[in-house]
Structure 1
Amino acid sequence: MTNVTPLDYRAIDVDNHYYETIDSCTRHLPKEFKRRGVQMLTEGKRTFAVMGGVVNHFIPNPTFDPIIEPGCLDLLFRGEIPEGVDPASLMKVDRLPEHPEYQNRDARVNVLDKQNLETVFMLPTFACGVEEALKHDIDATMATVHAFNLWLDEDWGFDRPDHRILSAPIISLADPQKAIEEVEFVLGRGAKIVCVRPAPVPGLVKPRSLGDPVHDPVWARLAEAGVPVVFHLSDSGYLAIAALWGGKATFEGFGKKDPLEQVLLDDRAIHDSMASMIVHQVFTRHPNLKVASIENGSYFVYRLIKRLKKSANNAPYHYKEDPVEQLRNNVWIAPYYEDDVKLLAETIGVDKILFGSDWPHGEGLADPMAFTADIPQFPEFSAEDTRKVMRDNALTLLGVNVAASA
C-alpha cells in the first residue's frame, strides 16, 4: 500500500456507522408489537436479541460491549495475513464506555474533526438484520422500522444544521402503502438519504422485485425530493442459498463459517438488487432516481454489465433504454478499499465512485484517510480525480452544487 495522500480539503465518507443503543428498536415500539418485534433479554451476563420470538444472532452481542477495534481486520480483508498467523489473532477489542463516539453524536463530531471529515453518511449496524428476521410478519416489520427511525432521528438526527452527520433512515418496502407513509415521514424530518435493504421484498403471498411497479410511489417521491437511496450490506436472506448446499440458513455475525458460504453468496445480493432495479425498469420510469451501493464492494459491477448486455441483446423489445448506461447514469459505487479502483473508474467512470471507510467496524479502515492510499496515483488519477472520489461525487449524489460548496 502506498502512502496516504494529504488532502487540503475535508472528505465526505459515505460509509460510517454507529453502534445502536440497546433500545434502538424498542424505545418507540408500540406495546402491541413487543413480542412480535425486537426484544432484548438478559440471562446472567449475556444479552440476547429476540426478533419475532426467536433468538437472533446477526449481532451476537447487541450491547456492543466489548466491541472490536476499528480496522483491526485490515490484513484479513486485504489477503495479506503473514504466513503462520492465525486470522483470529488479528481481532482486538475495545470497551464501549471508552468510546462515546460510537453512540453519541456530539462525541462523533469531535472525532470527525480529527479525521479530516466534513460529512459522513451514518448507517445502521444492528438494524441491518431486523427486516430479514421479521419478514414473515409485515406489520411487525413496518412498526419496528418506524420505531427505529424515531430513535435514529432522536439520538443522531437525519440531518442537523451543521450537516456533519447524515443519518439514513430505513425504508422497508414490505407494505407498499406504509412504505410511502414512512418516506413522507422521514422527508418531513429532513432526511437527505434513505437506506433500503438489497434483497427481494417480502410479501404476504410471495416476494417481490424491487422493480415491481407497486413500489413506484416510493421511487417517484424520492426522485422528486432528490434524496438518494443507499443499498447497504445487510442480512438479505441469501443464506437460504447456502442452505441448499448443506449450510446454515441463518446469519451469525461471528464464529467459524463454511468457506463455501462466501464463494456462493459474496456480493450476490447487491448484484441481484441492482439487476432488479434496472431490468424491471425503475430508472426508465424514474430517470432522476439516484442510488448508491455501499459496503458491497465493486466486483459485482463487471458481472452485472456482462449479463445486462446479454439480456439486452436477447430481449431488445424489453428495454426502452440501454441498461448498462442506466447503471452508469443512476448508480454510484463505494468500492471496498482493497478493490481495483482504476478498473472501476474505467468501467463506470470516476464520477460514480464514492469513498467509504466503514469506520468504526473492524473490517473497515482504522484511519478513514488511509483510503487515499488505495486510489491510483498520478498520472492514472489526477488530484481532481482523487477529490471527486473523496468528496465531490458524494455532493453530486446529494444534489449539492460542487462549485458552490468548494
Structure 2
Amino acid sequence: MSTGVHEEAGRLRIDSRARTSGTEVTYDRPVDCDNHYYETIDAFTRHLDAAFTHRGIEVISRGTHTELLAGGTLFEFVPNPTFDPVVVPGCLDLLFRGQVPDGVDPRSLMAVEPLHPAYQDRDVRINTIARQEMSAAILLPTLACGVEEALKDDIPALMASITAFNRWLDDEWGYAYRGRIFAAPMLSFADPDDAVREIDRLVERDVRVVYVRPAPVPAGHGTGRSLGDKVFDKVWARLADADVGVAFHLSDSGYNGTVARAWGAPDRFVPFRNPSVLATIVVADRAIHDTVASLVVDGVFERHPTLRVASIENGSDWLALLLKRLRKQANQTPWSFVEDPLDTLRRHVWVSPYYEEDIGALADLIGIERVMFGSDWPHGEGLSEPTDFENELGEFDDQEVDQIMRTNVLDFLGIAV
C-alpha cells in the first residue's frame, strides 16, 4: 500500500493521513471481521452530485415517518432508516440458532432500544471495542447493503451514489481510524472505469478492505455479468496491486427478483416485514455460492494471484457443496481448471461462519488459517457480546482459537502477524 501505513508483526503504525500521527497499534486481542454501524440519514445525500438528486437515494417525510426513495421508488431495505429505535444486539440469537423454545412465538424475541451513540460515533465505538476486550473491528454497512440492487438499472446514479456514500463514510468513520476501526467502503463493478477511479481515491485514504455485494454485476436493461468477466480485470488488478481485501457481505443480491419470483414468492427483499418462507429457502445462500463459483470458474484468482476475498455473514454451509460441484466439473472439463479447486479456495478465500454452524467442519475443509471470527454486532441476529463467539470454539486448541479470533482477520487485512 502506497499510503502511510507501516507494519511490523502484530503492530500497525499510522501516520497523520489516518488522523493519529505516530500512533502504534498493537493487536493482541480479538479482531472482529463483522461489525456494523447504522448510517445517518444523509449517508447517501451529503456528498451526492446534485445532478443525481432524484435518481439516487432521497429522504422524504410522510406524516411522522422518515422514508427513503431509490430512483424515485420507495426503498424498504430497512424498516426505519433513522434507526431510532433499533433492534437490541443479539436479541434474535435463539431464532437464528433454531432453538426457540416450544410455546414461544419467535416474533416475540424482537426487542428494540434507543439508538446508542456507539452505533454512529467512531470515538464512542473505539471505547466500546476496548470494553468488549477486542483490539479492532472491520465495520460494514447496514442500510447500504440494499442500495446496489435498488439502483442497478441506473448505473450512473449507482456509481455516483456509491462515491457519495464512501465520502460520507470517510467523514464519519474513516477507513483506518486510529488503527482500531477498518470501515469498508462500497464498490460496484457496474462501471469498471469508474470503479478503478474510486479505488485510486480510496487507496489514497488508507483503505484496507472494500465491501462488494455478492451478486451478478449490473449491466443495464435487466442484464448482468459474472464478476469473473474479463471486462472487470482492471478492477481486480487494481485491488490486488493495492493489497486491498474484498469482503463479500450478505446483501440484497437480487435473487428475490429472479429465483424467488420464479416460484411465485415475493420479488423484493424486505427484511423483517412479512418474510416469505419459500423465498428464504429457495434463495438461502445461493448468492455467495454463485459469487465464489464465478471467481473460480472464470479465472479471477488465476489472473490475479495475490487477490484476497472474504465471505462475511453468508454462513459456511455453502462451501462444501460448491467444492463438490467444482471438483465434479473439474473432472468433466479439466481444461477449465488450472488446479484442484480446493487449492484455489484455500489460497484466496477467507470465511466467517455463522456462530451456530459446524466451525470444525469448515476448518477441516478450507484450513484453520482461513476461518474468521465475526459477530455481526450490533445487529439483532448477531451476538450480544462479540467475543462470545469464542464459546463456540471448544473443539480447538488455544493457538487455533487465537487464529480464528485474531490473526486470521489481521492476515486478511494485510497486517503482518
TM over 0.5: yes
Contact kept, 8 Å, 2:316 with 2:351, in 1: the verdict is yes
Query: Which residue of structure 2 lines up, in the alignment, with residue 189 of structure 1?
Result: 205
Q: 2:143 aligns with which of 112, 121, 126?
A: 126
Contact kept, 8 Å, 2:248 with 2:310, in 1: the verdict is yes
Contact kept, 8 Å, 1:239 with 1:248, in 2: the verdict is yes
1:64 aligns with 2:79: no
Contact kept, 8 Å, 2:316 with 2:354, in 1: the verdict is yes
Query: Which residue of structure 2 lines up, in the alignment, with residue 356 of structure 1?
Result: 374
Deviation, 1:48, is 1.0
For residues 28 and 12 of structure 1, the distance between their equivalents in structure 2, rounded to whole angstroms, comes to 31
Q: 2:410 aligns with which of 370, 395, 400?
A: 395
Q: 2:124 aligns with which of 94, 103, 107?
A: 107
Contact kept, 8 Å, 2:237 with 2:304, in 1: the verdict is yes
3-state SS of paired residue (1:170): coil
1:147 aligns with 2:164: yes
For residues 88 and 200 of structure 2, the distance between their equivalents in structure 1, rounded to whole angstroms, comes to 37
Aligned residue pairs, count: 389
1:200 aligns with 2:200: no
Structure 2: which amino acid aligns with 1:257? P
Contact kept, 8 Å, 2:342 with 2:366, in 1: the verdict is no
Query: Which residue of structure 1 lines up, in the alignment, with residue 24 of structure 2?
Result: none
Structure 2: which amino acid aligns with 1:177? D
Query: Which residue of structure 1 lines up, in the alignment, with residue 4 of structure 2?
Result: none
Contact kept, 8 Å, 2:152 with 2:220, in 1: the verdict is no
Deviation, 1:190, is 1.0
1:322 aligns with 2:337: no
Structure 1: which amino acid aligns with 2:357? D
Structure 2: which amino acid aligns with 1:243? R
Structure 2: which amino acid aligns with 1:111? T
Query: Which residue of structure 1 lines up, in the alignment, with residue 46 of structure 2?
Result: 27
Query: Which residue of structure 1 lines up, in the alignment, with residue 326 of structure 2?
Result: 308
3-state SS of paired residue (1:163): coil
Deviation, 1:280, is 0.3
Deviation, 1:54, is 0.2
My pick for the range that moved more, 234-243 or 320-329, is: 320-329
Give unpaired runs (5+ residues) of structure 1: 1-7
Contact kept, 8 Å, 1:341 with 1:376, in 2: the verdict is no
Structure 2: which amino acid aligns with 1:36? R
Structure 1: which amino acid aligns with 2:207? A
My pick for the range that moved more, 146-155 or 260-269, is: 260-269
Deviation, 1:329, is 0.9
3-state SS of paired residue (2:108): helix
Q: 2:397 aligns with which of 374, 382, 389?
A: 382
Aligned pairs for 1:133-172 (under 5 A) are: 133-160=150-177, 162-172=178-188
For residues 397 and 382 of structure 1, the distance between their equivalents in structure 2, rounded to whole angstroms, comes to 21
Structure 2: which amino acid aligns with 1:237? G
Contact kept, 8 Å, 1:271 with 1:304, in 2: the verdict is yes
In the TM superposition, what whole-angstrom CA distance separates every residue of 1:318-345 from its partner, at most 9, and x where no partner exists? 1122222111110000000001001001
In the TM superposition, what whole-angstrom CA distance separates every residue of 1:185-240 from its partner, at most 9, and x where no partner exists? 11111101011110000013631100011111111111112111000000000002
In the TM superposition, what whole-angstrom CA distance separates every residue of 1:362-385 from its partner, at most 9, and x where no partner exists? 0000001110011133xxx11000
For residues 367 and 334 of structure 2, the distance between their equivalents in structure 1, rounded to whole angstroms, comes to 25
Q: 2:104 aligns with which of 85, 104, 113?
A: 85
Query: Which residue of structure 2 lines up, in the alignment, with residue 52 of structure 1?
Result: 71
Query: Which residue of structure 2 lines up, in the alignment, with residue 231 of structure 1?
Result: 248
In the TM superposition, what whole-angstrom CA distance separates every residue of 1:240-281 from its partner, at most 9, and x where no partner exists? 211111111111121222211121011100000000011000
1:267 aligns with 2:282: no
1:337 aligns with 2:355: yes
Aligned pairs for 1:212-223 (under 5 A) are: 212-223=229-240
Give unpaired runs (5+ residues) of structure 2: 1-26
Q: What's the Cα RMSD here?
A: 1.1
Contact kept, 8 Å, 2:76 with 2:270, in 1: the verdict is yes
3-state SS of paired residue (1:195): strand
Contact kept, 8 Å, 2:152 with 2:158, in 1: the verdict is yes
Contact kept, 8 Å, 1:74 with 1:365, in 2: the verdict is yes
For residues 389 and 87 of structure 1, the distance between their equivalents in structure 2, rounded to whole angstroms, comes to 31
Contact kept, 8 Å, 1:284 with 1:321, in 2: the verdict is no
Q: Kindly, what percent of the aligned residue pairs are identical?
A: 52
Deviation, 1:141, is 0.2
For residues 344 and 91 of structure 2, the distance between their equivalents in structure 1, rounded to whole angstroms, comes to 37
Q: 2:113 aligns with which of 91, 94, 100?
A: 94
Query: Which residue of structure 1 lines up, in the alignment, with residue 29 of structure 2?
Result: 10
My pick for the range that moved more, 246-255 or 140-149, is: 246-255
TM-score when scaled to structure 1?
0.94
TM-score when scaled to structure 2?
0.92
In the TM superposition, what whole-angstrom CA distance separates every residue of 1:144-179 from its partner, at most 9, and x where no partner exists? 00000000001100113x210000010110001101
Query: Which residue of structure 2 lines up, in the alignment, with residue 369 of structure 1?
Result: 387
1:177 aligns with 2:196: no
Deviation, 1:9, is 4.2
Contact kept, 8 Å, 2:247 with 2:312, in 1: the verdict is yes
For residues 267 and 147 of structure 2, the distance between their equivalents in structure 1, rounded to whole angstroms, comes to 16
Structure 2: which amino acid aligns with 1:13? D
